[in-house]
Chain A
Amino acid sequence: MTWSEMQPLLSQGTYDSLYMVLWATVVTIGLGLPLGVLLVLTDKGGLLQNRPVNKVIGVIVNIGRSLPFIILLIALIPFTTWFVGTFIGPSAMIVPLSIGAIPFFARLVETSVREVDHGLVEAVQSMGGGIPTIVWKVLLPQALPSLVSAITTTVITLVSYSALAGAVGGGGLGSVAITYGYQRFETNFMLITVAVLIAIVTVVQLLGDGVVRLIARRGRTS
């Protein structure tokens, strides 16, 4: 295969991968963040202590985390078909990608939020702040650096999940690597695909670290 043959396939694959990962990240944050916060709030000694709710969320999250992603991907085919109309292509893949990443992200959020000093919560309570105030003005802002790290880790996980999605017709770089690199023995093509994936992961990690440093620097230098 020549470069001119490979180039359009690679660009399309990269575009599809980024598209899936981006939207899956948005959905994962949108649903995983409240879930993670809820895990902390409903826990024993939490502000909304509620054993049954906490247990149910915990069990769902654990099931989601213990399934290998490829199994989840296949198991979700009927649901994806019902939800999107098809299970093939990058748009359809957003569904299993998000469902696979939400429990993972929710646990990371839980850990980050739990680390916020309880004294700050007490201080806001003493000012007459309610639970929404505590969540929006204390827990989330104080946990922000750690939450950004959690998002970085989640995006990287989603990149690797999205490569797997290629195996079930999800498109993206994974499809390209399997179809051309594996099934047609185009070793060079495979290597280039891998290189692009490494580049994506590196850029995401650098970006994430950069943002964390930026937030963490507040307050330390004038």
Chain B
Amino acid sequence: MITTTGLTKVYQSRGRDITALDGVDLHVREGEVYGVIGQSGAGKSSLIRCVNLLERPTTGTVTVDGVDLTALAGRGRRAGKDLRRARSRIGMVFQHFNLLSSRTVQDNVELPLEILGVSGKERSRKALDLLDLVGLADKAKAHPAQLSGGQKQRVGIARALAGDPKVLLSDEATSALDPETTRSILQLLRDLNQQLGLTVLLITHEMDVVKTVCDSAALMRKGRIVESGTVGELLATPGSQLAAELFPVTGDASGPEHTVIDVTFHGEAATQPVVSQLARTYNIDISILGAAMDTVAGKQIGRMRIELPGRYEDNVVPVGFLREQGLQVDVVDDSRATALVKEGAK
């Protein structure tokens, strides 16, 4: 639904070039919620602005719903008619809502329809429908200044949906909201994604957002995407930073002569008594350093950090046993051991 290839963006600042995007290939499938996460300055903001060409990429192409937007760009800084038409089919919500204080809630939602040239009666009907959809039917005549942050963002979402978009871009839409409001806005995005089949591309610096709503995620660093995939794939990737952050377990080794491993359970493996089987089969003492169960992308997942006595070399067989049970095993904090694991995996 959204594809970018070789996207780069270079800014000129006081005669120096600053590379915000350094060859980004992004692929968002139709109907999924895709989260791009990274720290500030990683290039997330530039990326999402390049998708609807609010910022023109230096090189590379952007295709949304089969239309190559970069080819529509037109000359200079001004957006041509075709590009403006294409933008009206891509909704966008912003961190600071960007509602016009000079207009009522309803008039704010009608604004995109005015731009599309929809007649007054139709505009008002559509705006009221959308406000109903986001649960703000009673606030139509209010002004944005009278609303709470969460309500403002609902208006922002209703406005973004006015042009019947297939794609919704969300630029840190929940970053200015408290945790509870964040959850309700994410729930709304999820509902819209499922009810309307809306494809959502969101950028965020909060891992919780990815965990709550995203089907797929990408990690950005210094203008590049360093990891990407569906949440399931990421969790199944040994050494995935995103997986580790999505689902952190902590705990340090009690001494040098011990091996610390992270065991990830998904699917039916989660119900097997593996730890006691391991202890009985190899007659070893296992300490549990940390453990967590959670739902990620709608799936039950468990993670456990355990410690086995002896160095990694002494524990190759028990680790192999765990792998045989269909578990994902990552050895923690030992570069030599990690290298061995990778060899073993081959």
Contact = CB atoms under 8 A, between A and B. Distances in A.
Interface string A136-174: 011001101000000000000000000000000000000
Which of the four size classes fits the interface of chain A? 20 to 34
Interface bracket on B: 35 or more
B94 interface: yes
A222 B116 CA distance: 30
B163 A123 contact: no
B163 A128 contact: yes
B69 to A, nearest CB: 12
Contacts of B142: 222
B100 A126 contact: no
B36 to A, nearest CB: 17
Nearest to A122: B54
B298 to A, nearest CB: 30
A120 B77 CA distance: 18
B98 A219 contact: no
A46 to B, nearest CB: 9
Interface in B78-102: 78-79, 84-88, 90-92, 94, 96, 98-102
A127 B100 contact: no
A123 B98 contact: yes
A218 B102 contact: yes
A144 B90 CA distance: 30
A133 B115 contact: yes
A142 B101 CA distance: 7
A142 B102 contact: yes
B29 interface: no
B84 A219 contact: no
A31 interface: no
A118 B90 CA distance: 20
B115 A129 contact: yes
Interface of B: 52, 54, 77-79, 84-88, 90-92, 94, 96, 98-103, 111-112, 114-116, 142-146, 159, 162-163, 169
